[in-house]
Structure 1
Amino acid sequence: MVIALVSLCLLQLLTGCGNSRTVYVKVPVVPLPANLTADTPQPAIPAPLTYGASLDLNVSLLSALGQCNLDKTSIKKIEELRASAQLN
């Protein structure tokens, strides 16, 4: 008889915990800054492509490539922040 009463009390305690409800709130997506998604200007290839002009072109191309890599790194950091914010 005592075991049945204790079991009923424990059963009521367990069912009391089952009423919790999870509510998901939609968070608006913040757009990426325009400077990260803007086109990177392509350097113009000089008409008479001399050796000196090709060296200058290489410097311009490497500079444009470096800027693209910086933009991608910034976008990756923003996406990581968004992913960690969604987990919390």
Structure 2
Amino acid sequence: MPAPVVPVPAHLLADCPLPVIPDELTYGGAILLLTDAMKTIADCNHDKRAIREFEQIRASGADYKASQ
């Protein structure tokens, strides 16, 4: 008998929020902060989008490899 399928909790599938930018920040510091933050958020959202797509395929009963 196969193990039951447990869905990924919804809070793990939500997009990552944007960071709060402090009021006092140098221009150089802001560029570094925003560059790093936006890269991290983009990576996070990309991973979560992939999880959501996989969950939709799994919920439909379709074969994951067949959907590639």
Structure with larger RCO (C-alpha < 8 A, sep 6+): 2
Find 2:45's aligned residue among 68, 71, 75: 68
TM-score normalised according to structure 1 size: 0.49
Separation (CA, whole Å) in 2 of partners of 1:49 and 1:36 = 34
Segments of structure 1 that go 5 or more residues without pairing to the other structure are: 1-29
Separation (CA, whole Å) in 1 of partners of 2:19 and 2:26 = 13
Residues 46 and 53 in structure 1, CA contact (< 8 A), matched pair in contact too: no
Residue 57 of structure 1 pairs with residue 34 of structure 2: yes
**What is residue 12 of structure 1 aligned with on the other side?**
none
Structure with higher Rg: it is 1
What letter matches 1:43 in structure 2?
A: P
Q: Cα deviation per residue 1:20-52 (whole Å; 9 max; x = unaligned)?
A: xxxxxxxxxx86522113x52211233334123
Separation (CA, whole Å) in 1 of partners of 2:47 and 2:54 = 11
Segments of structure 2 that go 5 or more residues without pairing to the other structure are: 1-5, 64-68
TM-score normalised according to structure 2 size: 0.60
Name the SS of the counterpart of 1:41 in structure 2: coil
Find 2:18's aligned residue among 37, 42, 50: 42
More helix by share: 1
Moved over 6 A (4+): none
- C-alpha RMSD over aligned residues: 2.3
Aligned residues: 55
